[in-house]
Amino acid sequence: MDFYLGIDFGTSGARAVVIDESAHIQVQVRYPWLEVDSLVSSWQKALLTLLGQIPEQLRREIKAIAINGTSSTVLLCDANGNPVDTPLLYNDGRGSIVLNELRDIAPANHTVLSATSSLAKLRWMMQLPSFGEARYFLHQADWLGFLLHGQLGISDYHNALKLGYDVEKLQYPEWLENLQIPIQLPKVLPPGTVVGEVRPEISQQFLLPPDCFVCAGTTDSIAAFLASGAKSPGEAVTSLGSTLVLKLLSRTRVEDARYGIYSHRLGDLWLTGGASNTGGAVLREFFTDAELENLSREIDATKASELDYYPLLKVGERFPINDPNLPPRLTPRPNNPAEFLHGLLESIARIETQGYELLQKLGADSLNQVYTAGGGAKNPTWTAIRQRNLKVPVISSLNTEAAYGSALLAMGR
User: Of 193, 242, 322, 360, which one interacts with ligand ADP (CB under 6 A)?
Assistant: 242
Q: Interface with ligand ADP includes 382 (CB under 6 A)? A: yes
Q: What is 175-218 written as a DSSP string?
A: HHHTT---SBPPEEE-TT-EEEEPPHHHHHHHT--TT-EEE--E
Q: Given the rule CB under 6 A, which of 59-67, 119-127, 189-197, 377-385 is the region that contacts ligand ADP?
A: 377-385
Instruction: Name the minimum Å distance from CB 241 to ligand ADP.
Output: 2
Instruction: Name the minimum Å distance from CB 11 to ligand ADP.
Output: 8
Question: What's the DSSP call for residue 130?
Answer: G
Q: Interface with ligand ADP includes 283 (CB under 6 A)? A: yes
Q: Interface with ligand ADP includes 21 (CB under 6 A)? A: no
Look at strands 369-373 and 235-240 and give their pairing: parallel
Q: Helix/strand/coil (H, E, C) string of 260-311?
A: CEEEEEECCEEEEEEEECCCHHHHHHHCCHHHHHHHHHCCCCCCCCCCCCEC
Which of 72, 155 has the CB closer to ligand ADP? 72
CA dihedral 125, 66, 399, 273 (to 10 degrees): 40
Q: Interface with ligand ADP includes 378 (CB under 6 A)? A: yes
Nearest of 101, 125, 144, 111 to residue 8 by alpha carbon: 144
Element (H, E) at 349: helix 337-361
Q: How far apart are CA 390 and CA 233, in angstroms?
A: 16
Which of 26, 238 has the CB closer to ligand ADP? 238
User: Of 289, 308, 323, 357, which one interacts with ligand ADP (CB under 6 A)?
Assistant: 289
Instruction: Name the minimum Å distance from CB 179 to ligand ADP.
Output: 34
Q: Interface with ligand ADP includes 374 (CB under 6 A)? A: yes
Q: Interface with ligand ADP includes 376 (CB under 6 A)? A: yes
According to CB under 6 A, which residues from 127 to 166 bind ligand ADP?
none
According to CB under 6 A, which residues from 251 to 280 bind ligand ADP?
280
Q: Interface with ligand ADP includes 338 (CB under 6 A)? A: no
User: Of 25, 48, 89, 281, which one interacts with ligand ADP (CB under 6 A)?
Assistant: 281
Which residue number places its CB atom closest to ligand ADP? 375
Which of 95, 343 has the CB closer to ligand ADP? 343
Q: What are phi and psi of 39, to 5 degrees?
A: -60, -45
Q: Interface with ligand ADP includes 10 (CB under 6 A)? A: no
3-state SS assignment for residue 126: coil
Tell me, by CB under 6 A, how many residues bind ligand ADP. Answer: 15
User: Of 241, 260, 337, 363, which one interacts with ligand ADP (CB under 6 A)?
Assistant: 241
CA torsion sign for 249, 278, 8, 162 is positive
Instruction: Name the minimum Å distance from CB 321 to ligand ADP.
Output: 21
Measured from the Cβ of residue 118, the count of other Cβ atoms closer than 10 Å reads 29
User: Of 114, 272, 305, 379, which one interacts with ligand ADP (CB under 6 A)?
Assistant: 379
Q: Interface with ligand ADP includes 396 (CB under 6 A)? A: no
Distance of CA 332 to the CA centre of its chain: 36
Q: Interface with ligand ADP includes 337 (CB under 6 A)? A: no
Q: Given the rule CB under 6 A, which of 17-25, 70-78, 190-198, 370-378 is the region that contacts ligand ADP?
A: 370-378
Instruction: Name the minimum Å distance from CB 385 to ligand ADP.
Output: 11
CA 274 to each of CA 51, 243, 278: distance values in angstroms, whole numbers, following the listed order: 34, 11, 12
3-state SS assignment for residue 166: strand
Element (H, E) at 223: helix 220-228
Nearest of 289, 246, 286 to residue 376 by alpha carbon: 289
Q: What are phi and psi of 135, to 5 degrees?
A: -120, -30
User: Of 138, 198, 214, 292, which one interacts with ligand ADP (CB under 6 A)?
Assistant: 292
Instruction: Name the minimum Å distance from CB 13 to ligand ADP.
Output: 12
Binding site for ligand ADP (CB under 6 A): 241-242, 280-281, 283-284, 289, 292-293, 374-376, 378-379, 382
